[in-house]
Structure 1
Amino acid sequence: MSKLLRNTPQEEAAIARGIAADTDTFVPGDEQFEQMKPRRGRPKLEVRKELVSVRYDVEVLEAFRAMGDGWQTRMNDALRDWLRTHRP
């Protein structure tokens, strides 16, 4: 069984001095460190969308789905076009 050997405080200090003396060492600031963090999920949209449950005629859904991927976006665009001429 192998035993983990930790650095002594003196060894850690020597390592830190070596890092500080190295001209190629880059220490990011808080803002730069935040930018390096991996992003999870989809990027935030400029225009926020809301998840709703809605019922449409089967024929309407079939027609939009038949157009292939992006059918929900096209349906949203069609509703937006309709709103341009049908404001309450």
Structure 2
Amino acid sequence: MAQDLLEQIKIPEYWLSWTYFQSHLLRSPLIGLNQERVNIIDHGRQNYDNGPDVLDATIEINGIRYQGDVEFHLAAQDWFLHGH
């Protein structure tokens, strides 16, 4: 279903990054593909060079904290297509 929606709505990938850094403007919480709640604890720093889109971020998914880099893709298969 999510992939079908992406095929109907064409948004640029940079919009994901902008939304991530402006998450305080969202009217509802971030929800993952498996309906998990995603909280941004520390946005980290935007990377303007090669590599991941964001460096040193901290996010919480279903109460579990993760720290590291963030990569944005419009479709899950892009993760593999880009060689990550």
| TM band (smaller chain) | under 0.3
- Structure with the larger strand share: 2
Normalising by the residue count of structure 2, what TM-score does the alignment of the two structures yield?
Answer: 0.22
Q: Which has the higher contact order (CA 8 A, sep 6+)?
A: 2
Higher radius of gyration, 1 or 2? 1
- Structure with the larger helix share: 1
Normalising by the residue count of structure 1, what TM-score does the alignment of the two structures yield?
Answer: 0.22
